[in-house]
Amino acid sequence: MSEQLKPELRFPEFDGDWFETSLEQLMTFKNGVNAGKENYGFGYKFINVLDIIENDFIVHDLINDSVNISKDEFEKNIVEYGDILFQRSSETRAEVGQANVYIDEQRPATFGGFVIRGKKKSDYNPFFMNYLLKTRQSRLEIMKKSGGSTRYNVGQSTLSEVVITTTAIDEQQKIANFLKAIDKRIKLLKAKKDALEDYKTSIMQKLFSQEIRFKQEDGSDFPEWEEKALFQISNKTSSNIAANSLDEDGGDFKIYGATGFLQKVDFYTEEQEYISIVKDGAGVGRVLLCDAYSSVLGTLDIIRTIEENDLRFLYELLQNMRFERYVSGSTIPHIYFKDYSKAKFLIPHPDEQKKVSSFAKKLDLRINVLDSLVNDSAKLKESLLQKMFL
């Protein structure tokens, strides 16, 4: 065997060569169940494409759909521990043939017609195989064998011919356990982030409803909140920057689009932090808090506070605004400041606004730290997938 059949990163107790094999040597392939529409929604748990692409692995409780088929049909299409499920078809080559593993040892399931099952017939670690089939090398091997014009497809014969490079079962187990530990950390960090986001949502609702209030520095109450329209505490300016006018990503300044940060450019239009609101298209009403020394596309309104009103307070307030009330247009939804600026809110004294703003900012900083840890862990895992496999 050549030296190239050893991965770049490896546990020290292993030094033997890896070896190539086809998926046909490891599993047998079968297309899934196609039932009449009246048979869906009850019966046996039924794995579909979303179960493959939305989960790290598949267990019985994570499967959303069900299908009513006979026991004999179920036995012919049974999915058990260690079986691999593949996405048969996709609009893009990059997604076709995505794989996931079924790891429920107690409860079997079945699978749908847009899925191909790889029934385990040889000895491999299911978790290891799941990670291996998600590596860039394996994905490229599957994608290049896919066919189609309007949609890309893989079939049983296609998957049978896919060649992977694997190793002995004890090394598979070691790699799988290591990567599972990273997945566990990512899952834990995501759960902490989600819990903190839920806490922030809950506490902000209580603050805006005045169920809880901050006190002044001397312990006394702040003045009563006053009803004001949005135009009384903010104003709007517009951008004329079109997405197709931008050069390739480059520069030191951010520019924002409908989904948030778009790219870096070599100019800026706004010197101070500001709020932007998507005014047309699918993301209409989305509210963004934008950095100083940045710009937005012309599809977003630029909102600034006036007088002593606090910008971050207004940003938090607008998170709960129902912009759909102000949408016009049948084909492309649109909102106008002249309409939604008439919305009225109970607004506290600027000093109390700052208290709310400071509290929200501290929570956001903690959320951002957790988000960075999630992203860093995900990048580490991606790097390991490339270095620990061939």
Q: Which amino acid is at 214?
A: F
Q: Provide the pLDDT for residue 307.
A: 92
Residue numbers of the chain with a pLDDT score lower than 50 = 1-2
- What's the alpha-carbon Rg for the chain, to the nearest Å? 27
Is the Cβ–Cβ distance between 102 and 86 less than 8 Å? no
Token pair for residue 232?
Answer: 């009384």
Q: What are the angstrom distances between the C-alpha of 83 and each of 48, 128, 229, 357?
A: 14, 12, 59, 51
Q: Provide the pLDDT for residue 349.
A: 98
Give one DSSP letter per residue of 38-68, joined into a string: GGEEEEEEEE-HHHHHH-SSB-GGG--EEE-
pLDDT, tens digit, for every residue of 239-263? 999 999 998 878 999 999 999 999 9
Give one DSSP letter per residue of 207-230, joined into a string: HHTTSS--B-TTSPBPPPPEEEEH
Q: Provide the pLDDT for residue 250.
A: 82
Cα gap 29→79, rounded to integer Å: 12
Q: Provide the pLDDT for residue 289.
A: 98
- Give me the chain's average pLDDT, please: 95
Q: Provide the pLDDT for residue 3.
A: 54
Share of the chain above pLDDT 90, in %: 92
Q: Compute the residue count for the chain.
A: 390
Q: What are the angstrom distances between the C-alpha of 269 and each of 53, 239, 261, 307, 311?
A: 40, 9, 15, 21, 18
Q: Provide the pLDDT for residue 201.
A: 96
Q: Provide the pLDDT for residue 4.
A: 66
Q: Provide the pLDDT for residue 66.
A: 96
Q: Provide the pLDDT for residue 277.
A: 98
Q: Provide the pLDDT for residue 330.
A: 80
Q: Provide the pLDDT for residue 132.
A: 98
Domains for the chain: give ranges and CATH numbers. Answer: 19-166 (3.90.220.20), 169-212+350-390 (1.10.287.1120), 226-347 (3.90.220.20)
Q: Provide the pLDDT for residue 247.
A: 85
